[in-house]
Structure 1
């Protein structure tokens, strides 16, 4: 099964200031994109997981990146390297979505052993490896669990997740 994939991120802004006789402007556009061919080497990916998930109030879930997640066709996925991760929190959430290391067998390649990222309602995070990079290592059985948590009580949270990576 072949996979072609791409990740991109863009930011634009324009700062303006009125002066006596003119208005000055400083436009800014930053874009970065990477396309990944099918395969397992540098600049390649052969696995993708994507899902919309809901966590109950104060709940957590541990996503095992090596052998437990299923692709769109129901086949088990074992990531050896993650090339891209996108997490989007639903705009209607009241609580935040927190991603980071799990208590057991944490995937530490991105955030270390205890680091977390907070994704506020309607927000997103996107992390990608460059075309010349092998990606973020996943170690089956000891460093392969990504924890996703609902930051508070009282209401559930919904989030979308996309993981693109390679099996070797």
Structure 2
């Protein structure tokens, strides 16, 4: 029986902003929620591949996540992503150092605008990118398939969770 994938990516910010005054408390309530639903498949608004893992990097270490033919699905099948639909990386709150995510200068997947672009995820922080449209972030084996994750400093390890959702065609 073939595998199927249904994915819901949700980003939400909920806040209550108050100004405590002598005779009243004006309040601004905010709830901004964006939900992207992906059906099983390879076209727009769909995905059929997923990788997820918890990983640990030694002090000052880095690793390249190869999105074309190296990572394995939860069922043990080798994954080759052709397009990305969602990337989430969460840094453990117990980390001392940041988790650094970059597009490597050579063979980097174009998740960030230019080679060597990226960002630091502080302890307890997260990075989430998602887009349901076709052709926005393509993975090209051998020339555009790497995402580098690094420990930003020396002295201690970092742990991070990673989830990558995409298509096989």
TM-score by length of 2: 0.94
Determine the C-alpha separation between the residues in 2 that align with 1:40 and 1:110: 22
Offset from partner CA, 1:105-153 (integer Å, 9 cap, x none): 11123342121111111111111114xx124211111011000000000
Q: Which residue of 1 aligns with 2:166?
A: 165
Alignment of 1:1-168 (within 5 A): 1-130=3-132, 133-134=133-134, 135-168=136-169
SS in 2 for 1:18: coil
SS in 2 for 1:110: coil
Offset from partner CA, 1:61-91 (integer Å, 9 cap, x none): 0011111111111111010111001101111
Determine the C-alpha separation between the residues in 2 that align with 1:52 and 1:17: 41
Contact 2:112 2:118 in 1 (8 A): no
List alignment gaps of at least 5 residues for structure 1.
none
Determine the C-alpha separation between the residues in 2 that align with 1:148 and 1:29: 32
Determine the C-alpha separation between the residues in 2 that align with 1:42 and 1:75: 23
Give 1:20 deviation, angstroms: 4.4
List alignment gaps of at least 5 residues for structure 2.
none
Aligned-CA RMSD value: 1.2
